[in-house]
Amino acid sequence: MVVKTKAKVSTKSTKKSLSVGSLLSISQLTVQDVDLILRTAAEFKMSRGRGKGDQPLKGKVMAAIFEKNSTRTRVSFETAMYHLGGTMLYLAGRDLQLGRGETIADTAQVLSRYVDSIIIRTDTHRKVVETARCARIPVVNALTDYAHPCQALADLFTLKERFGKLKGLRLAYIGDGNNVARSLIFGAAKTGIELALASPPGYEMDKHTIELSEKDRWKSGGEIYITQDPSRAVDRADAVYTDVWTSMGHEKEQAERVRRFKKYQVNAKLMVQAAPHAVFLHCLPAHRGQEVTEEVIDGSQSVVFDQAENRLHVQKAILALLMGKR
């Protein structure tokens, strides 16, 4: 990734800047970056976007390329831009010339002449890296097959809000070793969370991701435990997280995945094996009756709608820090 700017914004805790010019993966952030994003998000959440100085992006325009469906990411980014004084242009991939074969490199260079930042949700992570390489403006990964950093930052924010700390928290992730799980691994490693992942054989997290996060875990005191047994993963967990069994782009594998993931449902029987105070997280959208039961996701332990709300506050922080005062 190319680091082009070290943007500054004017609110209290945002006097400092991020070490990166774009947000592609949490693995590329420093511990201080993560802390700054979470603190800035807390300020935005408290002010609800109404406080003085909360429009650091007045007059700025952001292009939002979506090559996959979205509810939360699209609407929270658009609302965030509006609250911060700017505008988001929603660009469906199929409507752009991208849909007719124009390269992402040319698209990124052209958009850089018009707008002040780009967010992109697409299939391959390589495309987002290429966008950031060719753009002259900040680029934010709004989900790829590899990572979903904005989601995981909102998840960290939600956990911190609930427990007052991240270091030493026990988080269990049950299910597919996918983009969301990967970003959680990177986020947990930066913040000292003890993360246990239970995935069915063949759907585990890749070794490279575990290795890539090792240095951060060593520094933060975070731990990672990989198992195929959901009961072991949730043992005494403070939080239990799951995601869909079939991510976007894998629809053809759905029937097979439903068979292979059956034992990986987060249900009441599994939740009682976590700590009594445990919360349930899900990035949404959810499939009740598959990865989670209705009883759990709609029950008292569920914080999924806080999580969804926090996307807005965290993305405000990301945008203000990357785009403010450029």
Q: How far is the C-alpha of 180 from the C-alpha of 241, rounded, in Å?
A: 10
User: Is position 57 an interface residue for ligand CP (rule: CB under 6 A)?
Assistant: no
Q: How far is the C-alpha of 102 from the C-alpha of 87, rounded, in Å?
A: 25
Q: Which of 19, 32, 71, 103 binds ligand CP (CB under 6 A)?
A: 71
Known catalytic membership, residue 273: no
In the region spanning residues 131 to 170, those forming contacts with ligand CP, defined by CB under 6 A, are 143, 151
User: Is position 246 an interface residue for ligand CP (rule: CB under 6 A)?
Assistant: no
Instruction: Name the binder of 244 from ligand NVA, ligand CP, none, CB < 5-8 A by kind.
Output: ligand NVA
- Residue that has been written with the tokens 């018009």 in this structure: 114
Q: How far is the C-alpha of 17 from the C-alpha of 9, rounded, in Å?
A: 8
Which is nearer to ligand CP, 210 or 317 (by Cβ)? 317
Instruction: Name the binder of 17 from ligand CP, ligand NVA, none, CB < 5-8 A by kind.
Output: none
Rounded least distance, CB 271 to ligand NVA, Å: 21
Instruction: Name the binder of 179 from ligand CP, ligand NVA, none, CB < 5-8 A by kind.
Output: ligand NVA
User: Is position 284 an interface residue for ligand CP (rule: CB under 6 A)?
Assistant: yes
Binding site for ligand NVA (CB under 6 A): 143, 178-180, 243-244, 247-248, 283
**Amino acid identity, residue 111?**
L
Known catalytic membership, residue 307: no
The size of the chain, in residues, is: 326
Known catalytic membership, residue 162: no
Active-site residue (options: 125, 148, 182, 217): 148
- Residue that has been written with the tokens 């097959």 in this structure: 145
C-beta nearest to ligand NVA: residue: 247
Active-site residue (options: 54, 72, 145, 151): 151
Active-site residue (options: 125, 257, 311, 313): 311
User: Is position 19 an interface residue for ligand CP (rule: CB under 6 A)?
Assistant: no
Q: Which of 152, 234, 283, 322 binds ligand CP (CB under 6 A)?
A: 283
CB of 49 within 8 A of CB of 82?
no
The window from 6-14, 35-43, 133-141, 277-285 that contacts ligand CP (CB under 6 A) reads: 277-285
Known catalytic membership, residue 283: yes
Backbone φ and ψ of 266, nearest 5° = -90, 110
Which is nearer to ligand NVA, 44 or 245 (by Cβ)? 245
User: Is position 73 an interface residue for ligand CP (rule: CB under 6 A)?
Assistant: yes
Which is nearer to ligand CP, 217 or 257 (by Cβ)? 257
Rounded least distance, CB 159 to ligand NVA, Å: 18
Which is nearer to ligand CP, 151 or 290 (by Cβ)? 151
Known catalytic membership, residue 134: no
CB of 5 within 8 A of CB of 18?
no
Active-site residue (options: 182, 283, 290, 301): 283
Q: How many CB atoms lie under 10 A from the CB of residue 288?
A: 12
| Active-site residue list | 121, 148, 151, 243, 283, 311
Residues that bind ligand CP (CB under 6 A): 70-73, 143, 151, 283-285
